[in-house]
Structure 1
Amino acid sequence: MQPPPMPGGAPIAEIAALVGTGCLKGCMLVLLFGTYSETMGMMSNVYLCDLPGAGGIFCGIDDEMTVSHLLAFLLAVFSIAVPMAIWSEVISRGIYRDPKAWLADPTNKIYAILALGVYGLVFALETVNLYTLIARQSVGGPFQTTDTNPMMEFLANNQGLGVFVAALVAIVNTVLGLLAVRAAYSLKTKLAR
């Protein structure tokens, strides 16, 4: 049984799926931004308000924002956008229907290698940053955190599980990217009818 269409012609289920996956991707963006902000101290003493020219724009947004925060936000957006862009190409070109036929073209092989390389960088970025956040609980020196978190301490003491959790978050980001892109294409298809 089909759900009733909305007044504009869009089915409720497709809109709900798109909003739900958008919310989940937003949560993943916040998680990655927080992780990158915690692990990246590069230029954390340079405030964006102090920059010539565009500093006034940043002062209007947040006067405590540093270059480190901006870099962390850009990396988080990159980490969210890359899997979604790859899945979008896979779905729009119909690569999932016959991958061997698509890979038969030498140019497509180059595209696939480049896409896997960029995705590998994103996967490594997410995994290393999340694991760094976990490992800071057990190391001494300047990287040690003063906040004690029982879950992070448990993962730091169980190194293998910490690596698995870090990799699992990166995989969840990829799956959420697929779900968000499929929901957008499903809504686009229903609206085109």
Structure 2
Amino acid sequence: MANLTQAYELQELDIRTGYRFLFVSVGSKTILKAVRYTYARTFEDKKVYNLGFGDYDIKTGTIVDQAKSNNGDAYKVLQTVLSTIPYFFEKNPDAMVLVQGSDSDPAFAERCRKTCNKHCFTTCKRFRQRIKVYRSYVEKNFGDLSISFWFLGGFLSINRDVEIQRYVPGREYDAILFFRK
């Protein structure tokens, strides 16, 4: 992965339902975060794993991927999440990773409006924000990343399936898939 010089220290847990990484976000608060790779489906003979992350709820043992921490360390958190990718591919060299934003579901905007302090009237400003961050990282580093990875872009269909095509820089996608060359 490109430019991952500043990342939090990770604790890796190998669990049956996927690989989980924990780290502590230190900013205005101290927040336990988690990254998890969960098997989603098979695509062209490759196991596809969804990369999910968010605040880790110790009581329930779950990742709260809708959390908006605003902890002042978003760049370092993103670097930490991305730093798990080489570890994942070490253990799963033939796998494919799927990245989607938890805020890309059309129902997200309606849920957001109930607690939003931005007073969005026609278009939710937080809708699809996370996939835009991932896409921006890929766009800025596409040349370097393409040396090691193949990229595909995905569009959500009406029935929530992901329709996949070759990744074209500059195109807006609902999901990004990638795998090692």
Check whether TM > 0.5: no
**Greater Rg over alpha carbons, structure:** 1
- Structure 1 or 2: larger helix share? 1
Q: Which has the higher contact order (CA 8 A, sep 6+)?
A: 1
